[in-house]
C-alpha cells in the first residue's frame, strides 16, 4: 500500500504498523516511532555563494539607516543671534541643508556666540512633522568703571540703588538704559542716563562734579559787623564767604547799631556781591509805666499804645510823652533818648473823683467796689470817674450788682432793697406757661386749707371727711380741660363718641371715653414732646411707679384740685357758683332741661344751653382764671381712691393719696349731674373705667 501523504510514492523506513487484535477478534492499529528525514528529497543540500552572502550582510547593515530615515523627523533650529556651529546631544543627528533629522525623544542643544552667555538648553522632538525650535542667547553684561573729579568718595546710585563710593570698577550692568547719580557734600548732584548695548564691553566713566556753592562778598559801613548765616556767625565785614545754594538768612550786627537782616537766594557756582550795607545807629529804649495802669500813651501827640509800654525811639532827640485815662487828669513829661540805653518813665495820673451815696436794706449789707470790700462810713464814697462795678450782698439774700460811672462835681445815689433767695426764686418763676399742644397752665402757690365737708353740710357723703392739708410745693394747673383735638395729637384715632343723639366728639369739646391710664400716658407723651422728664413709668398698660421729683406733666392731686376749685380770699366755696342752690343764670354745664330726656335727675328750671358737653371755656372762669372746675365733665385725679379715716388733726403735707388701689379718684361734677350731692365741690367719686362724662386736665410741679 502506498503512503498517500507522500507524492513521490517512496515509503519511509520503519513505517510498518503493527496490528493487535482486540477481544472481538479485530486488529487494532498501534503507533510507530517517527524518525525525521536526514536530507532534502533526492539527497541534495543548499550552499549560498559568497556574493550573495555579501549582499545579505550589506542589507543587514543598512537596516538601522533605513529605520532611522523612516522614523526620523525633520526639524528646524533657529538661534538668536545666528550661530555658525551648534551641538545636539541625545541621539543620532543627520543635518540636511538647514534642517536636522532627529528621532522623537529628548535632546540638549549647545551653542555659543561672542558677547553672549553659552547656551545649553533641553528640547523635545515629538512624532509630529515640520517642527521648529527657536533659542535665545543672553547677552553678557557690560563692565562699568566710575571715577569722580575733583573729589573722590562720591556716593554712587544706579537706578536709585546705592552701589558704593568712587572710585568703583567692574560693575556689571545688563543692556538697556540706566540712571547714574553721584552725590558729594558741597557739590551739585551729577546725573547721567547710560544706554548700554551689552556684550561684555568695558566702559570707563569720569564724572565732573560741579560746586553747589557760590562765593558771596559782604561789606558794611562801618566795617567790622558780624556776619551770621542761618544763625551761625561766619566772619566780619568785609568778607567773602562760600555759601551753599538755596535760601539763606543773613544778619549783620555791630554794637551800637541796629541789626541788618535779609534773605538771599544763593545760586550755585557763581560769584555774588551783596551791595554794601549802611548800618543805622541803634534806637534808645523807653519803658513807660503809669499809675493807674492801662493808660493811653501819646508820643509827640501821636498815639503809641497803652501802658505798660516799651518804645524804641531814634537817639539824640527829645520827645514829649503824655498819658491820659478816663476819670483821671492827664500827665506829661519830656524825655531825651540816648542810643543803646534803656530808660524808664513813670507817670502818675490824679483821679477825677465823683461822689456816690449808697443806701441798702438790710442796712448791714456788704458793699464791694470792683471786687474789693469798701467801708462807707457816712454812707458816701469817692470814686474815680470811670465805670465802677458795685456789688451789694448779704448771706441769705441774692447779690445786687450794678455798674456806675461817678461824675465829678455831682452826687449820685443808689437805693437797694435786697431780695431774699426765696423771693428771687419766685421772681424767676413764670406766672403761666403754654404747652406745645396749646394748653395754658397757671402758677399756683398754695398753702394750708381744710379739704372735705362738715357733717352738718347738706348732701355730704361719708367719704368727704375733713382733713388738714398743707401744699408747700408750687405747681402749675391747666386753665381748661384737655380737648378732643389736643388728645388726638396723641391718639389720632380716638373718638369720644355720642350720648344719645348728641356728639361728644367736637374738636373743642373736652375729651371723654378715656381711662385713667390713657390720661396718664397722654401726660407722659406731652412731657417728652416738651423736653420734660415724664412723671409716670409704665410697662405696657400697667403703671409701675410715679416719679415724685419729676417736673413733667401729670394729673393734679386731689388736694391740688380742691385748692384750685374751692379756696378763695373769702373762704371755701361750696358750689362752683357760690353757697346757694340752685345755680343762677348760666353758672356751668350741668344736668339741665335740655338733657331731661336722657337723664333722670336735673337741676330744676335750669338751662345752660348744652344738652351734653360744651366746648371748654364756654362759661365764666373762677377768680383765679380756671374754667369748668364745676360742670362740663368730671375729671380724673392722680390719687388712688381710698376710704378716708376720721379727722385726726394731723396736717398732711403735699399728699398724693394711697400708694396703690383698684380705683382712682374722680372730682368735679359733669353734664350728667344735677343734685345737691353731686354739684358740691367737696363731692368725691371714683372709678376704673372710661366714661362719657369723665375727662381730665393736666398739672405739673414748678421744681
| Region 213-278: CATH code | 2.60.40.1120
Q: Does domain 432-701 have CATH number 3.90.1580.10?
A: yes
Domain 55-136 annotated CATH 1.10.3470: no
| pLDDT of residue 129 exceeding 90 | no
CA distances from 572 to 317, 425, 564, 566, 681 (A): 93, 29, 10, 5, 9
Q: What are phi and psi of 167, to 5 degrees?
A: -80, 145
Q: Is pLDDT above 70 for 378? A: no
The residue written with cell numbers 397752665 in the block is: 441
- pLDDT, tens only, 519-554: 999 999 999 999 999 999 999 888 999 999 999 999
Instruction: Give the model confidence (pLDDT) of 12-31 as tens digits.
Output: 444 343 444 444 444 444 55
Which neighbouring-strand residues pair with 79?
135
Contacts of residue 450, defined as CB under 8 A and 6 or more positions apart, other chains included, come to 466, 467, 468, 469, 572
Q: What's residue 6's pLDDT?
A: 42
Looking at residue 527, its pLDDT comes to 98
Q: What is the pLDDT of residues 441-480, one digit of tens each?
A: 999 999 999 999 999 999 999 999 999 999 999 999 999 9
Please, which pLDDT band fits residue 32 given cuts at 50, 70 and 90?
Answer: low
Burial class (CB in 10 A: 0-12, 13-18, 19+), 623: exposed
> Could you tell me which residue, 399 or 12, shows the higher pLDDT?
399
Q: Which CATH architecture has domain 353-423?
A: Sandwich (2.60)
pLDDT at residue 13 in the model: 41
10 pLDDT above the threshold of 50: no
Cβ(443)–Cβ(474) below 8 Å: yes
Q: What is the mean pLDDT of residues 213-220?
A: 95
**pLDDT, averaged across the chain:** 89
- Domain borders along the chain are 55-136, 142-208, 213-278, 284-348, 353-423, 432-701
Beta strands in 498-593 (DSSP E): 498-499, 502-503, 536-539, 542-546, 567-568, 571-572
Grid coordinates given for 602: 336735673
pLDDT tens, position by position, 234-270: 999 999 999 999 999 999 999 888 899 999 999 999 9
Q: Same CATH fold, 142-208 and 55-136?
A: yes
Name the more confident of 69 and 186. 186
Share of the chain above pLDDT 90, in %: 73
Assigned C-alpha cell, 138: 543672553
Gap between the Cα atoms of 574 and 595, Å rounded: 24
Give CA–CA dist 226/236, Å, rounded: 5
Q: Is the predicted pLDDT of residue 293 greater than 60, yes or no?
A: yes
pLDDT, greater one: 632 or 329 = 632
The answer as to CATH 2.60.40.1120 being correct for domain 284-348 is yes
| Average pLDDT of the segment spanning 189-193 | 94
Q: How many CB atoms lie within 10 A of CB 318?
A: 10
Full DSSP string of 15-40: ----EEE-TTSPEEE--------SS-
> pLDDT per residue over 147-173, tens digit each?
999 998 999 999 999 999 999 999 999
Q: pLDDT band at residue 377, thresholds of 50, 70 and 90?
A: low
Question: What pLDDT shows up at residue 277?
Answer: 96
Among 428, 443, 451, 452, residue whose Cα is nearest residue 473: 443
Pairwise CA distance, residues 72 & 105, whole Å? 10
Cα of 291 vs its chain's centroid, Å: 52
Cα separation, 75 vs 101, in Å, equals 6
Q: C-alpha grid cell for residue 391? A: 456789688
> What residues pair up with 155 in beta bridges, in sequence order?
165, 183
Residues 6+ apart with CB under 8 A from 76: 98, 99, 100, 131, 132, 133
**pTM of structure:** 0.51
265 CB contacts (<8 Å, ≥6 apart)?
Answer: 246, 247
Q: Dump strand ranges (E) for 411-569.
A: 411-417, 432-434, 440-444, 448-451, 467-470, 475-478, 498-499, 502-503, 536-539, 542-546, 567-568
pLDDT at 18: 43
For residue range 419-445, what is the model confidence (pLDDT) as tens digits? 998 888 888 899 999 999 999 999 999
Q: What is the pLDDT of residue 645?
A: 59
Question: Cell 558729594 identifies what position?
Answer: 184
pLDDT of amino acid 2: 37
Q: What is the mean pLDDT of residues 500-516?
A: 97
The domain made up of 142-208 has a fold known as Immunoglobulin-like (2.60.40)
Amino acid at each position: 500500500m502506498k503512503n498517500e501523504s507522500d507524492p513521490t510514492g517512496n515509503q519511509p523506513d520503519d513505517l510498518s504498523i503493527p496490528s493487535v487484535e482486540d477481544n472481538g477478534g479485530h486488529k487494532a492499529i498501534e503507533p510507530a516511532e517517527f524518525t525525521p528525514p536526514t536530507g532534502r528529497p533526492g539527497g541534495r543540500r543548499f550552499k549560498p555563494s559568497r556574493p550573495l552572502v555579501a549582499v545579505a550582510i550589506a542589507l543587514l547593515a543598512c537596516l538601522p539607516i533605513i529605520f532611522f530615515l523612516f522614523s526620523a523627523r525633520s526639524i528646524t533650529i533657529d538661534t538668536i543671534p545666528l550661530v555658525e556651529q551648534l551641538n545636539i546631544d541625545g541621539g543620532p543627528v543627520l543635518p540636511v541643508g538647514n534642517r536636522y533629522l532627529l528621532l522623537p525623544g529628548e535632546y540638549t542643544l549647545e551653542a555659543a556666540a561672542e558677547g553672549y552667555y553659552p547656551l545649553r538648553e533641553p528640547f523635545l522632538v515629538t512624532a509630529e512633522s515640520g517642527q521648529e525650535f527657536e533659542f535665545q542667547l543672553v547677552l553678557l553684561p557690560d563692565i562699568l568703571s566710575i571715577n569722580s573729579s575733583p573729589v573722590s568718595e562720591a556716593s554712587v546710585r544706579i537706578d536709585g540703588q546705592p552701589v558704593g563710593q568712587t572710585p568703583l570698577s567692574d560693575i556689571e550692568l545688563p543692556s538697556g538704559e540706566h540712571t547714574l547719580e553721584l552725590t558729594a557734600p558741597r557739590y551739585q548732584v551729577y546725573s547721567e542716563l547710560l544706554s548700554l548695548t551689552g556684550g561684555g564691553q568695558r566702559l570707563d566713566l569720569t564724572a565732573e562734579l560741579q560746586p553747589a556753592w557760590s562765593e558771596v562778598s559782604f561789606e558794611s559801613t562801618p566795617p567790622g559787623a558780624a556776619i551770621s548765616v542761618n544763625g551761625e556767625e561766619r566772619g566780619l565785614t568785609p568778607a567773602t564767604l562760600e555759601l551753599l545754594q538755596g535760601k539763606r538768612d543773613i544778619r549783620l550786627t555791630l554794637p551800637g547799631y541796629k541789626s541788618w537782616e535779609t534773605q538771599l537766594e544763593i545760586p550755585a557756582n557763581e560769584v555774588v556781591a551783596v551791595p554794601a550795607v549802611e548800618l543805622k545807629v541803634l534806637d534808645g529804649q523807653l519803658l513807660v509805666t503809669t499809675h493807674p495802669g492801662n493808660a493811653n500813651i501819646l508820643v509827640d501827640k501821636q498815639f503809641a499804645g497803652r501802658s505798660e509800654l516799651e518804645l524804641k525811639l531814634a537817639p539824640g532827640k527829645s520827645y514829649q510823652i503824655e498819658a491820659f485815662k478816663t476819670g483821671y487828669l492827664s500827665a506829661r513829661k519830656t524825655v531825651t533818648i540816648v542810643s543803646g540805653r534803656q530808660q524808664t518813665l513813670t507817670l502818675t495820673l490824679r483821679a477825677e473823683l465823683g461822689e456816690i451815696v449808697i443806701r441798702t436794706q438790710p442796712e448791714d449789707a456788704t458793699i464791694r467796689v470792683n471786687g474789693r470790700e469798701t467801708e462807707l462810713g457816712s454812707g458816701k464814697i469817692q470814686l474815680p470817674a470811670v465805670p465802677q462795678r458795685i456789688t451789694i450782698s448779704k448771706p441769705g439774700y441774692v447779690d445786687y450788682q450794678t455798674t456806675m460811672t461817678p461824675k465829678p462835681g455831682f452826687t449820685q445815689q443808689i437805693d437797694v432793697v435786697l431780695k431774699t433767695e426765696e423771693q428771687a426764686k419766685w421772681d424767676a418763676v413764670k406766672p403761666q406757661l403754654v404747652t406745645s399742644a396749646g394748653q395754658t397752665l397757671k402758677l399756683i402757690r398754695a398753702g394750708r386749707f381744710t379739704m372735705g365737708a362738715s357733717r352738718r353740710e347738706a348732701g355730704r357723703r361719708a367719704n368727704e371727711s375733713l382733713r388738714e392739708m398743707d401744699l408747700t410745693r408750687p405747681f402749675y394747673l391747666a386753665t381748661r380741660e384737655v380737648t378732643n383735638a389736643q388728645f388726638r395729637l396723641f391718639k389720632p384715632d380716638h373718638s369720644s363718641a355720642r350720648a344719645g343723639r348728641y356728639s361728644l366728639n367736637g374738636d373743642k369739646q373736652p375729651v371723654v371715653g378715656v381711662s385713667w391710664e390713657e390720661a396718664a400716658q397722654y401726660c407722659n407723651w406731652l412731657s417728652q414732646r416738651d423736653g420734660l422728664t415724664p412723671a409716670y413709668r409704665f410697662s405696657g398698660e400697667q403703671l409701675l411707679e410715679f416719679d415724685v421729683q419729676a417736673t413733667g406733666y401729670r394729673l393734679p392731686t386731689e388736694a391740688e384740685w380742691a385748692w384750685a376749685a374751692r379756696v378763695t380770699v373769702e373762704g371755701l366755696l361750696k358750689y362752683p357758683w357760690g353757697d346757694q342752690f340752685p345755680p343762677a343764670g348760666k353758672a356751668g354745664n350741668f344736668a339741665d332741661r335740655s338733657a331731661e330726656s336722657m337723664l333722670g335727675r336735673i337741676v330744676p328750671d335750669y338751662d345752660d344751653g348744652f344738652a351734653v358737653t360744651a366746648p371748654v371755656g364756654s362759661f365764666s372762669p373762677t377768680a383765679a382764671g380756671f374754667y369748668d372746675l364745676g360742670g362740663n365733665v368730671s375729671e380724673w385725679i392722680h390719687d388712688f381712691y381710698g376710704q378716708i379715716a376720721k379727722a385726726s388733726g394731723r396736717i398732711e403735707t403735699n399728699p398724693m393719696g394711697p400708694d396703690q388701689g383698684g380705683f382712682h379718684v374722680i372730682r368735679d361734677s359733669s353734664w350728667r349731674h344735677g343734685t345737691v350731692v353731686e354739684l358740691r365741690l367737696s363731692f368725691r367719686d371714683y372709678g376704673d373705667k372710661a366714661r362719657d362724662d369723665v375727662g381730665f386736665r393736666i398739672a405739673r410741679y414748678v421744681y
